[in-house]
Structure 1
Amino acid sequence: MTLFIGIYAFETFAQKRTHKSVKKFEPEIPEANRYQANKVFLERADSMLSAPVKNPLESYILLMGNIEFSRGDMHLYCDSAHYYDQINSIDAFGNVRMERADNLSGRADQLHYDGRKEVMNLIGNVSITKDNRTLTSQAIDYYVPSNTGKYTSNGRLEDPKNVLTSIVGEYNFNTDNAVFTNNVDLVNSRDNYVIHTNKLLYNTRTNIAKLVEEAEITSDENKIITSNGDYNTATEKANLYVKNGVQPKLFAKDDRTLEGDSIHYDRHTGEGTAIGNVTVNDPKHHAILTGGYGYHNETTHVSYATDKALARIYNKENAKTGERSDTLFFHGDTITTIQEPDKNRVLTATGGVKFYRKDVQGICGHLSFAQRDSILNLYNHPVVWSGERQISSDNEINVHMRDSSSVDWATIPNKGLIVEHLGEIYYNQIYGKYLKAYFEKVTDYYDDGTESSRNELRHADIVGNVKTLFFPMENDSTYNKCVRTESGFLSLDLKEKQEVEKVKMWPEVSGTVIPLYLARKSQLKLDEYQWFDDLRPKSPYEVLNISEMMREMISQPYEILKPKVEEQPKDDDDKYEDNTQETKSLPVNNE
């Protein structure tokens, strides 16, 4: 009786819907080959109703309950469906589920399959999964032959390493390639970073993201900006390249930045290498490092540059780089900066070092600067110029910096020479075993509100085997004699504009005064005299030019000694007044 009532109710319902009742369904053509190209087979349904229409292509069968379709190696399940058997198309509703033999499965609230285009339109809470990769959205178009899913209104692709979201995207489950556009984010929760861009190519098998438009890779520790390159999210290595003249840029966790035509970065080690037009910027220490090749490790805080390496150190943010006197340019074959465990920062330059600032220039074979004690050490035939003065040594010169733009004092621990060019063939000269000079910072102010500083020599002490050669200026600003002296100690005081104020020598002084009209050329120079003006850089970027003469000079052997400095009397006018002699008291040589 119950069965009869159920059949009667079903038939009554069917008549009202103008559908024609069909007997209980049996598999469609059971003996047919199920792997025919683009052929859909109805495998199962609890009930069927047919709806006659004028156009056979629009006719469909209404299916209800436990429905299953097959198409090749794919099976489709749902609660109800419209089956367009003439055109191999389906409208599926309720608990829609599909499965393929390649371990792909999908779910949706609704599905439309167009057999002519071989495209499935999945709608409502859509997810398509293969192995451990899942594509989700509210609407996905699934292209059956290519095994590709596409969405156009916000979607998400998730694999074991990353979650990618975008407004528009597509993913090929065969090739594992994905293309995302419009507001793309790749989130890596393991290493805690996000890649944001407007277009990104990604492969779930290699976990490599290709960056083809401007992208930001941001973490709690650093940031990368690039428009061209790839980022391997499995190895955490990036290869970034210049595009349309815009270089990739790494903002390291130690506040330095690395730029170049190409950058290769390893997040695990913190190492970044750059090739071509490289810039390492250290705003915290007011330093910019450039070269053809660069390296920076944000973990060990080591940076270096080679291939026309150039460092620029500036003192004030408002200084115009390269124009104001407080910007120091220096070049070396290799320039390195290191931050030691105790936070001491050490800068070194090797292999033909040249530096330039408006008020001071120099050359040497090797240079080092330690921030902790503010000592600048120049080794291997160093020469330093300031104005018309030159200081040189075969071994080393040590300079103590008051700050990044001013010198406090300088020493030459082994055989130093100071030369001042007076004009024409006349040079004041001082030579000694040990020299120490004291400087004063002088600041110039400009109408545009900026300022620059320079260093002026105020006092010098020379110890051991001191030799001098001076050309005293007469009242009419001419020179008519040469004064040569030898002593154990010498003290020199200068006033503003570097004019000599006082010269003191002690304890025993010998020397001669030679009228210039009687002087031979050989008497106008000390035996130790050297003048290297041809090697002096005359402009900031001239430091990049290392001549063969300079290469030859720094290739000569040298040694770093620590001589025993003779104990000298304190520079006290009252105590040592009787032990000093002024140059005017020296005998005249009339040879």
Structure 2
Amino acid sequence: MKLSPLLALAALGIVSLPAMLAQAPKDGPSAKSPAPKSAPAPKKSVVRPTIPAADRHDPGKVFLEKADRLMFDQARDSDVQVLVGNVMFRKGDMFMYCDSARFNEATSSLDAFNNVHMEQGDTLFVYGDELYYSGADELAELRAYPGKKVRLINRDVSLTTDVFFYDLAEHVGYYETGGTLTDKQNILKSLQGYYYPDSKDAFFYLNVDLTGPRPNDTLRMFTDSLTYNTGTNIAQLMCETLIVSKDGEITSTSGFYDTNAGLADLYDRSTVHTRRGNYLTGDTLFYDRNKGYGEAFGNMILTDSAKQSELRGDYGFYDELKDSAFITGNALALEYSQADTLYLHGDTICAYMLTDSTKVTDVFHRVRFFRNDCQGLCDSISVVERDSILYMYYNPILWYGDKQIVGNVIYAHFNDSTVDWARLPESGVLGQHIGEDCYDQLAGSDMTAWFNDSTIRRLYVEGNVQVIMFPMENDSTYNKFV
């Protein structure tokens, strides 16, 4: 059948239906009258997706928001929807996107493929190539194709791994096959890790490695368990940990380390190895890396390996930049550079450097020291490394072998491992036990004694010299009347 030109145009969609209906029949009364003008074509109606009115925050429920095509997989399960093109799901405030998916509305489970990503608000984004979501436990598993990584972005935080799990019920993401977390301050790597976007807390386990990416910095942290907050950049130490930087090393099993400020609060017996080579150890330890000082509480030990000496006490403060220390509470200084160790006790010990780099150690109140060859008591003492002299003040007493030296001030000089001379510039008394209850005694205003092993090689006394001696008789007894 041959169509009229007008109908042919209508069939091709060129002439609108209202225009067609407006044409008068050819054999009608008005066939000769001019045809009326066509009415304006109505605007094409836009079909918009209808979003169901169900509560989008229904606990555990996943909603299909849109897709270009929807089919049912009759071969496998009539409840499974096959979705293709611009697919979007929603669970609460979390949106999931992909190119294609299989969705079981009854169980709120889905498998998504290609260009997969999850979004929550304008802060949390997760990207991958495949997503498997279980509605029963509200757990999403994201995978990446070979050569690519699953990525989580939360403001300034980035987490990459091969396989990533996100628990939508607990709002926590984790990995179990190795991953890397990066923020503005640090890079953290581990075999296992958990990240809570809401609190910004991260937990890392097995072969944990923290690196500080700041210019000219060498911060590294090695451990097997670590808690880290991406908002504060503070790491919590949970087991044996080594912290390395250009300023030294820290070893600890418990505590907190502020990677931004370089501050450490450490517990359970920790040690700081400073850039000078000294070791500061304590039951509780505070260390300011940038200012270069540390405080140790409880059984503190400050070791100078180069000078072979130690300072010990209940509390200690060490200024690394000035190479000075303050020790109190059962304070003890040890010097073991020679064959015999010198033990120096007191209430308080101060050690510092003079302008010419001479080391000085001052001990205050109830001072006592011990070596096999000599011992002493006084109220305060000063040890000057440059001249190897012990300056003893306030009622000092020095014992050397069987000899006792007493004075207002005593200067004792150490030569290698022995005391080779002692000077008493403000009066002194030297006593020596010679037998029975007999003691030879010598006093004067200014006294100097030179020693050879345990004997007096030479003695010089001037000013108000007084002598008490017990001569030996022929029968080896002492004459007690002089």
- TM-score class normalised by the smaller sequence: 0.7 to 0.9
Alignment partner, residue 463 of structure 1: 462
- Pick from 424, 432, 435: which aligns with 1:423? 435
Q: Deviations over 1:444-497 (max 9, x none)?
A: xxxxxxxxxxx6432121122222111122343221255xxxxxxxxxxxxxxx
Alignment partners' CA distance in 1, 2:333 and 2:167: 57
Alignment partners' CA distance in 1, 2:115 and 2:324: 59
What pairs with 1:555-566 in structure 2 (closer than 5 Å)? Answer: none
| Residue 325 of structure 2 is aligned to residue 299 of structure 1 | no
Are 1:340 and 1:346, in contact at CA under 8 Å, matched by a contact in 2?
A: yes
Q: Deviations over 1:22-62 (max 9, x none)?
A: xxx97464444333323222223233332114655xx4222
- Pick from 384, 393, 403: which aligns with 1:389? 403
| Residue 363 of structure 2 is aligned to residue 345 of structure 1 | no
- Pick from 411, 415, 425: which aligns with 1:402? 415
DSSP-derived class of the 2:317 partner: strand
Alignment partner, residue 13 of structure 2: none
- Pick from 328, 341, 365: which aligns with 2:379? 365
Q: Which amino acid aligns with 2:444?
A: G
Count of residues paired in the alignment: 430
What pairs with 1:1-40 in structure 2 (closer than 5 Å)? Answer: 27=49, 29-40=51-62
Following TM superposition, by how much is the alpha carbon of 1:102 offset from its aligned partner in structure 2, in angstroms? Answer: 5.6
Q: Which amino acid aligns with 1:67?
A: V
Alignment partner, residue 243 of structure 2: 217
Alignment partners' CA distance in 1, 2:124 and 2:480: 101
Alignment partners' CA distance in 2, 1:209 and 1:156: 16
Alignment partners' CA distance in 1, 2:76 and 2:82: 17
Q: Which amino acid aligns with 1:221?
A: D
Alignment partners' CA distance in 2, 1:434 and 1:131: 78
The CA RMSD measured in Å over matched residues stands at 2.0
**More helix per residue: 1 or 2?**
1
DSSP-derived class of the 1:145 partner: coil
- Pick from 419, 425, 435: which aligns with 1:413? 425
Q: Deviations over 1:67-93 (max 9, x none)?
A: 222222222222222222222122111
What pairs with 1:148-547 in structure 2 (closer than 5 Å)? Answer: 148-190=172-214, 191-242=217-268, 247-316=269-338, 326-394=340-408, 396-403=409-416, 405-440=417-452, 442=453, 456-480=455-479, 482=481, 514=482
Are 2:363 and 2:382, in contact at CA under 8 Å, matched by a contact in 1?
A: yes
Following TM superposition, by how much is the alpha carbon of 1:341 offset from its aligned partner in structure 2, in angstroms? Answer: 4.1
Q: Which one scores higher on RCO, CA 8 angstroms, separation ≥ 6?
A: 1
Alignment partner, residue 41 of structure 1: 63
Alignment partners' CA distance in 2, 1:457 and 1:286: 30
Percent of matched pairs sharing the same residue: 39
Q: Which amino acid aligns with 2:156?
A: N
Alignment partners' CA distance in 2, 1:27 and 1:457: 110
The 3 A distance-change label for structure 1 pair 193 and 457 is: farther
Following TM superposition, by how much is the alpha carbon of 1:165 offset from its aligned partner in structure 2, in angstroms? Answer: 0.9
Following TM superposition, by how much is the alpha carbon of 1:290 offset from its aligned partner in structure 2, in angstroms? Answer: 1.5
Alignment partner, residue 70 of structure 1: 90
- Pick from 157, 177, 181: which aligns with 1:133? 157
DSSP-derived class of the 1:465 partner: coil
Alignment partner, residue 579 of structure 1: none
Q: Which amino acid aligns with 2:90?
A: S
Alignment partners' CA distance in 1, 2:270 and 2:71: 64
Give the unaligned 5+ runs of structure 2: 1-46
Q: Deviations over 1:119-151 (max 9, x none)?
A: 110111111121212222111100112221110
Q: Which amino acid aligns with 1:96?
A: V
Q: Deviations over 1:104-123 (max 9, x none)?
A: 11111211111221111011
Are 1:27 and 1:42, in contact at CA under 8 Å, matched by a contact in 2?
A: no
DSSP-derived class of the 1:285 partner: coil
Give the unaligned 5+ runs of structure 1: 1-24, 320-325, 443-454, 483-513, 515-591
Following TM superposition, by how much is the alpha carbon of 1:264 offset from its aligned partner in structure 2, in angstroms? Answer: 1.3
Q: Which amino acid aligns with 1:158?
A: T
The 3 A distance-change label for structure 1 pair 80 and 418 is: same
DSSP-derived class of the 2:71 partner: strand
TM-score relative to the length of structure 2 = 0.84
Are 1:26 and 1:44, in contact at CA under 8 Å, matched by a contact in 2?
A: no
Deviates more, 1:228-237 or 1:356-365: 228-237
DSSP-derived class of the 1:409 partner: strand
